[in-house]
Chain A
Amino acid sequence: EDKVVQSPLSLVVHEGDTVTLNCSYEVTNFRSLLWYKQEKKAPTFLFMLTSSGIEKKSGRLSSILDKKELFSILNITATQTGDSAIYLCAVLKWNNNDMRFGAGTRLTVKP
């Protein structure tokens, strides 16, 4: 059975802290791993990772994939209250583009 496991499930930090969110996976026919941010409504896309060891970066957010150890991390530096959200990890499979999500990490950034 395919699994996408995120940790921690919940995290509370203060502004300025750096956080690392984890996503491990066990899926057949792995194609890509994606990170989304979900505030009040629809998830919004952050990163898509296909190759191992290549860091994707956008401002204070960065992410990397390890296809040998089957995990990815999402780093957020100098956190701000606007980073408070649920961060979702998803794995895209080759067969018919089936995309499976983890349970998410709820990040709360306090002023």
Chain B
Amino acid sequence: NAGVTQTPKFRILKIGQSMTLQCTQDMNHNYMYWYRQDPGMGLKLIYYSVGAGITDKGEVPNGYNVSRSTTEDFPLRLELAAPSQTSVYFCASTPQGNSPLHFGNGTRLTVT
């Protein structure tokens, strides 16, 4: 039972490079979320999706893009990496509106 799987676990990027953080879930959940967590700052919502083909901005969407072509996958794209995007990124999913999130184990990204 894999749950929410994020890859890679760690990544170092140079300023200006691009990359995609992968997130997939095998629980057939409709709702998926991307958060970033900076030290002492809790979790900030980047983007979320309530179903395939639908995405919405969260609190801190600038510098990121997402897509939701299937129920299972919700990749997060960084086009021009900046040091301010150094963070731990968590993907999460939930089956329906009023239920807890299931989190992946996170991707630690460093931009230098």
Contact = CB atoms under 8 A, between A and B. Distances in A.
Interface of A: 4, 6, 9, 31-32, 34, 36, 41-45, 48, 50, 88, 90, 92, 96-104
Main secondary structure of the interface of A (DSSP, over half): strand
Given A88-B42, A88-B43, A100 B59 contact: yes
B12 interface: no
Interface string B47-61: 010100000101100
Contact of B50 (A9, A97, A103): A97
B48 A42 contact: no
A41 B105 contact: yes
Contacts of B99: 48
Nearest to A106: B40
8 contacts: A4-B42, A34-B100, A45-B101, A96-B56, A100-B45, A100-B59, A101-B42, A101-B43
Contact of A99 (B33, B41, B104, B105): B33
Contacts of A50: 98
B74 interface: no
B100 A48 contact: yes
A92 B35 contact: no
Nearest to A35: B100
Interface string B71-112: 000000000000000000010001001111101111000000
A98 B48 contact: yes
Nearest to A1: B59
A32 B98 contact: yes
B68 to A, nearest CB: 13
A96 B90 CA distance: 19
A4 B94 CA distance: 21
